[in-house]
A and B are shown apart, each in its own frame.
Chain A
Amino acid sequence: MKPKTPASASALDRRSFLKGIGTSAVAVASVQVGAMADEINKAAPAPALQGPGAVPVSLTINGEKKDFQLEPRVTLLDALRYFSPLTGTKEVCDRATCGACSVLIDGKLTYSCMKLAIDAQGHEITTIEGLAKDGQLTPVQQAFIDCDALMCGFCTPGMVLATTALLAENPKPTVDDVKRACSGNLCRCGTYPHILNAALKASGQAVTETVTVIHHGSVA
């Protein structure tokens, strides 16, 4: 998938970023104010003010275009869960600290609780529901089942997507690569050892499961 960056979405980010810098720059070096103002103006015109009431929002989710009426403050997470409703994307912290709400935006792993739905327009959004095509699980999904890389399953959609995003970039990751790629996703049940196995298995690498069952024999 090719990243798409429509002017409205990217400019908003860049503009507010520059504005933020501009404000703090004033305090330390007023001489830079002029230059900063030029930069702000170069960063495309500000989008028209929208809201606070509901506005039309159009999202491409799992290849399908869907139209919504959303207040601009509605996050992509809430749009998915409560307006679609695609509840596979989980709400856990709503503060970008756990990764359970991860989705792919143009193939890139993103916390959907930290993205406004209105800003996700013009991008390809893939949720956990969009991975398996015609009921056929992806190798990552199948490896999660085979390696028991899921327990309660609440972190699982985010973990599967984090692993999917990793393998798209790095088809033969090392254990350390997996640790780095999945460390933005938390699990309270403690599935991590099996997630490491699943990522290796999905990428066609050997997995050693270190569980030993000692049968029978006296306990004394």
Chain B
Amino acid sequence: MAAWPNPTQVMGKPATRLDGPAKVTGSAKYSYDVQPDGWLFGMILCSKWPAATITKIDLTKAQGMPGVKAAVLAGGEQRTVRFYGQELAAVAATTKQQCLDAIRAIEITATPLPFVVKEDDAMKPDAPLVADGPNVSDPSVKAEGQVDAAMAAAAAVCEGELRTPVQLHHALETHGSTVSYKDNHLTAWTSTQGVFSVRDAFAGAMQMPQSNIEVICDYMGGGFGAKFGAGVHGGLAAKLSQAAGAPVKVMLTRLQEGLSAGNRPSSIQKIKFGADKDGKLVAATVENHGSPGISGSRKTAGGGGGANIATPYLYHFPNINVQQYGVLMNTGPASAFRAPGHPPASFGTESMMDELAVKLGMDPLQFRLLNDDNPVRQREYKEGAERFGWATKYQKPGSSPGPVKTGVGCAGGGWGGGGKGSEAEAQINPDGTVEVRCGTQDLGTGSRTLVAIVAAEAFGLKPEQIKVKIGDTNLPFSGGSGGSSTSASVSPAIWDACQNALAALQQQTGVPDARGANWFDTCKKLGINPLSARGKWQEGLSGSGAGGVNFAEVEVDTETGFIRIKKIVAVHDCGLIVNPLTTRSQINGGVLCGIGYALYEERIMDRQTGVLLNTSFDSYKIANIADCPDIDVILIDLPERGVIGIGEPAVIPPAGAIANAVANAIGVRIHSLPITPAKVLAALGKVPNMPSV
């Protein structure tokens, strides 16, 4: 088995991003920015009905408008639409303004159908049917032991209904592609997490050979799980390009991004936990209903767009019954979202764990240490508690004096994070410059820089001396950047390619060790031909299974309901740390996305009209810099485990930790996310419960 050097020289040291200068000067070209010669604007017309039978879509007027070069249908002219925002047609024109005019000129004849956009409504027996079958799926069941008997014998039992909202990805760069179709060849500049999966999707949509398609993603403005395919929008861009005979750019609008580009499914978790008198968990029942909108695949734990959550979570229950149901609604399809299925599971489970600890009269941290078998989290809880000052900060719920109450909470998470299958190529030039090529992509995680760090480690060079080429299907294969698998999949392939190149260099030049000080003189001996070598993922260089815990300290103003997060201590492991600087950034980002999930974010559909009410960032609130607490990051470096991803683990624990801290502050638990001031005041009995829209 392959192994990393011990100690490493470059890996594990903070390195600034290779593409930092391009990003701070505006010269980085994102898919949104690419403007090939003769390019046209493309724009999509979406359904304004949450459900309707379309009998006619007339493009004639639009086609005759100034500047319009093509207009195409998204599906048949006669069809059923199932959600507000479903794509109907698209136009391409010379300017954005001409597209806006043309979109408005498309005439549609439709008969509205009954619809349902709220989980509770969709579950009613007389609810309008979203698809051919029932709205509520058959359950997926996990059952072990004798739950009823164990629950009856438990010393303490706790139950509650925990709810999480639909969360929207809202990457700053919307979904989209610029597509150039010519003579049965297609080039797409796509904002994507997987250039190869997008290539295959275009091949399917356009009935073209995969080898005639090139997908490029040099820079992309965030994905968070929702950007693996070409999308309906990509297919439309390709069709428009074919029809217009020119490259066409179709980027979703911010509104469309909230409608059709994916989302994290909701959950309604009816949870009951039981523990014995010593505090050991003995039994659990969980009944979860979650909605992936119109998505067909309802059973996967979030990753395939399904609504199932990763419960039972973290803890071992000898007696358990979990039943999970998918609920169809007339809303846009779900997709993977940063740690699919985990943040809701952590929030539900960790909320009930705190309730049970209180009932048992135990410290919630001690209760976790007693029941969490994972050795990494055990260590993280201990390190984190010491840094956070848990022993002195934890007080009984509701015991904080005065109108502004302080509370603390903790919660955990776990994630796979392994990866394999990447291939790479390293080229050494006679002048000593190095180019490393890999068909992965950088979502903003820093994978471009990671490639350089690994190559620099291999050659005894500095990361900035390595030229990195990624984000192109012409490069050696690498899979989609999902599941926090990129670092674990790519690093070994880069290392292997570089080792092979190094071996060839030493063989050709006869220099026993070309690295470091000998480098440039050795490379000169290559003469006029560069040397290149391929490599692929090797076992032993990466691992999987990352744990993480958060400690949160909050202040809750009991007169306004306003919550201020004072401090988050985030403790994580990711095996061998490749770049502590960008790893820290990943964890910051996970915490902030988790804060949004805990306090601010919720897709709100209107029951009466079936439309999305919070259409942009003024009403769909994500955390901003003023909401940013003091985030203290502790990384446990475990190099013997190899490289492991960290993007997703970081987003899992914050909501549970924050919810527990709020409950600890005010002495009452709020059972649904986001924890808004209105819910705080309602929980304190100061205002009535807000009715659902």
A residues near B (Cβ < 8 Å) are 71, 73-74, 78, 81-82, 85-98, 100, 127-129, 131-132, 137, 141, 144-146, 148, 150-157, 160, 178-180, 182-183, 185-196, 209-216, 219-220
Contact = CB atoms under 8 A, between A and B. Distances in A.
B327 to A, nearest CB: 27
Interface string B631-647: 11111111100000000
B19 A211 contact: no
Contacts of B20: 144-145, 148, 150
B507 interface: no
Contacts of B628: 179, 192-193, 196
A52 to B, nearest CB: 9
A81 B254 CA distance: 17
B588 A156 contact: no
Given A186-B617, A220-B375, 5 more contacts: A87-B26, A137-B21, A141-B25, A189-B444, A214-B637
A142 to B, nearest CB: 8
B35 A183 contact: no
A129 B26 contact: yes
Given A82-B96, A189-B444, A210-B633, A156 B253 contact: no
B508 interface: no
Most buried by B among A92, A141, A179, A220: A92
A128 B631 contact: no
A141 to B, nearest CB: 4
B24 A192 contact: no
B616 interface: yes
Interface in B98-150: none
A152 B221 CA distance: 5
Contacts of A71: 95, 97
Contacts of B624: 183, 185-186, 192
B197 interface: no
Given A127-B26, A144-B24, A214 B222 contact: no
Given A85-B35, A191-B588, A92 B27 contact: no
Nearest to A78: B96
A153 B23 contact: yes
B30 A211 contact: no
B374 to A, nearest CB: 9
Contact of A178 (B26, B379, B593, B625): B625
Contacts of B590: 190
A155 to B, nearest CB: 6
Contact of A152 (B222, B622, B637): B222
A188 B222 contact: yes
Interface in B433-448: 443-446
Contacts of A127: 26
A219 B376 contact: yes
Nearest to A154: B221
Interface in B203-229: 219-222, 224
Contacts of A180: 626
A146 B591 CA distance: 21
Contacts of B245: none
Contact of A191 (B170, B379, B589, B636): B589
A181 B533 CA distance: 50
Contact of B634 (A131, A146, A190, A214): A214
Interface stretch (B230-238, B306-314, B577-585, B656-664): B577-585
A156 B375 contact: no
A95 B26 contact: no
A160 B589 contact: no
Nearest to A96: B618
Contacts of B591: 190
Contacts of A93: 254, 616-617
B33 interface: yes
B638 A219 contact: yes
Contacts of B22: 153
A152 B26 CA distance: 12
20 contacts: A71-B97, A78-B97, A90-B172, A98-B172, A98-B617, A141-B24, A145-B20, A148-B582, A148-B584, A152-B443, A154-B172, A183-B625, A186-B172, A186-B624, A188-B172, A188-B622, A190-B623, A192-B628, A193-B631, A219-B376
Given A153-B19, A179-B628, A211 B617 contact: no
Interface string B576-610: 01001110110011111100000000000000000
Given A98-B172, A148-B585, A213-B577, A179 B626 contact: yes
A185 B625 CA distance: 8
A90 B584 contact: no
A151 B589 contact: yes
B393 interface: no
Contacts of B618: 95-97
B383 interface: yes
A192 to B, nearest CB: 4
